[in-house]
Amino acid sequence: MYSERIHAAWFGIHFFLLTAICLAGVFWLIAQGSTILPSACNDYAREGELVLTWCLGKQAGASNPLRRGIATYLHAAGIQAGYTFFAPNVPNHHRLRLELFHEDGRVEYESPRVRSEAAALRLDSLLDRLAEERYEPVREVLVKMLAFSVWREHPDVKKIRATFGSVNPPDINEFEQGKIETFQPIFSFDFSLRDEQKQ
């Protein structure tokens, strides 16, 4: 009986946290205005999301032990993110195009590469994250590192221009008419061996 109560209590806490995470994810989508719901719902969704993030301790200070405890548990159980994959709509994917300027004046085009398909999926996951607003503070550092990973294989390159952008695929009717995907640059950085400068 004692064991049952402990298990039941854990069950209650675990699924309460999971419910909060999942609903917060759905409310976030609605609050962004990216759903088919009327825009009047956006404010309610934002409030709902705030309440749920409060339940998860995210409103507390970064060093708050409860916040840290909840975050650690969520990560340990793999439930730190909701289950809103490919929802409400499938987002565009992103590409990082690197222009390599060689010492002798040649210009080559490259992209960061990995060996296996499994790792390629992860690289694409990283590129999609770069477009997210919350990763803006680490964007330049990450692009620089991706550029550096290519630079290591081309040591004679004196400058790299990294252009990050969104790839817009044609819809099915446009595809039938022969339209192909388009690349929409979002930002770019120039990196040289000595310094880097944002464009």
Site for other proteins in 80-119 (CB under 8 A): 80-90, 93, 112, 114-119
- Yes or no: say if 170 and 180 are a contact pair by the CB < 8 Å rule: yes
Q: Which of 20, 26, 131, 162 binds other proteins (CB under 8 A)?
A: 26
175 binds other proteins (CB under 8 A): yes
Q: How far is the CB of 122 from other proteins (least distance, A)?
A: 4
CA distance 36 to 115: 40
State the Cα–Cα distance between residues 32 and 84, nearest whole angstrom.
Answer: 14
Residue 66 binding other proteins, by CB under 8 A: no
3-state helix, strand, coil in the chain (%, to 5): 50, 20, 30
Taking CB under 8 A as the criterion, which residues in 133-172 touch other proteins? 135, 138, 141-142, 145-146, 148-149, 167, 169, 171-172
Contacts of 64 (CB under 8 A, 6+ apart): 57
- Based on the shown chain and the rule CB under 8 A, indicate whether residue 60 belongs to the binding site for other proteins: no
**Candidate ranges 47-55, 74-82, 182-190, 191-199; the one touching other proteins (CB under 8 A):** 74-82
For the bound state, the minimum distance from the C-beta of residue 8 to other proteins, rounded and expressed in Å, comes to 6
Q: If you search the block for the tokens 């991706």, which residue do you land on? A: 146
Q: At closest approach, how far in Å is the CB of 98 from other proteins?
A: 13
Query: Which amino acid is present at 122?
Result: R
Q: Both tokens of residue 50?
A: 């705030």
# chain residues binding other proteins, by CB under 8 A? 72
Q: Is 40 in the site for other proteins (CB under 8 A)?
A: no
Shortest CA distance to 56 belongs to which of 28, 30, 29? Answer: 28
Please report whether residue 32 would count as binding other proteins according to CB under 8 A. no
